[in-house]
Amino acid sequence: MANPIFKGSAVAIVTPMNNDGSVNYEEYGKLIEFQINNGTDAIVACGTTGESATLTKEEHCEVIRYTIEKVNKRVPVIAGTGSNDTVFAAELSKEAEDFGADAILSVTPYYNKTSQAGLVRHYTYIADRINIPMILYNVPSRTGCNIKPETYAQLAKHPNIQATKEANGDLSALVRTMALCGDQLDVYSGEDSQAFSITAMGGLGVISVFANVCPRECHDMMALALKGNFKESFAMQKYYIELMDMLFSDVNPIPVKAAMNLLGFQCGPCRLPLAPMSEQGFEALRVCLKKYGIIQ
């Protein structure tokens, strides 16, 4: 694409909660400033890591609106607006556009799943009703629904479908997708462990959980890869892989919210049905953060 939504590292930002379960906007503002001050290239609000599945529609809209106002055009804001209800996803996407979002992120339908033909109709319905770019989000481990390369090729023809966040773990399929779509579809890694690999293949960066904890490091790793400094970028990928894996040692975003609390932010717990880490898991996370010098 001639005008990509972003290049580099976009944080899939956590949504901090108060002890009563309400959204902690004061702390959320601090998280946004922490990200921007440390080089994050874009902010994704209300993604999986932001616990979009347990936000009410009112909360969902307010978090997106707050993010856009707080960021104030310093970096692009991408609003997570996906749903397994096509009409609702389109309505939420339009609201995000009206708030001033730079793009939307739309996960594949979950639970009811759908066919490849259904995916084309689902995404086309949403894209027809907005005037900002859409990033598709392919994460079959969570949704049970995988976008095939040939389906990407159909979807990429729509002028508002600009990119994908690819997290199906299949690099061979991604090569075929890139071959079929050419410059009609930008690609971002949806898995921190594949951020270097996908960027080296021609992707434009990562939408990252790891960046919550290490925004500067994630930005630098992607900047190096985008400049063709593959040896240095891959060295960073290898160095941080243990921490990246630790942040997925339990269901996302359980470990990353625990990590942010250990860093001194007041992110609170995850909403049910996500339960706190076990004592053993939490201690392993603490030790890992200490090993990297992130906490004392």
- CA–CA separation, 101 vs 68, rounded Å? 6
Q: Is 165 a catalytic residue?
A: yes
**Selection from 38, 61, 52 nearest residue 217 by Cα:** 38
Q: Is 70 a catalytic residue?
A: no
**Selection from 265, 198, 269, 276 nearest residue 230 by Cα:** 198
Q: Of the listed 70, 123, 152, 165, which one is catalytic?
A: 165
What DSSP character marks residue 295? -
- CA–CA separation, 255 vs 231, rounded Å? 29
Helical packing angle, 230-246 and 279-291, nearest 10°: 150
- Alpha carbon distances (Å) from 249 to 20, 98, 275: 26, 37, 13
Tell the residue number behind the tokens 């990590």, with chain if given: 259
Tell the residue number behind the tokens 């009206």, with chain if given: 98
What does the DSSP assignment read for 45-56? ESSTTTTGGGS-
Q: Of the listed 137, 152, 188, 240, which one is catalytic?
A: 137
Answer yes or no: are the C-beta atoms of 272 and 289 closer than 8 Å. no
Bridge partners of 77? 43
- Alpha carbon distances (Å) from 2 to 163, 189, 204, 263: 12, 19, 12, 38
- CA–CA separation, 290 vs 296, rounded Å? 6
What DSSP character marks residue 275? P
- CA–CA separation, 292 vs 282, rounded Å? 16
- CB-CB neighbours of 130 under 10 Å: 21
The set of catalytic residues is 137, 165
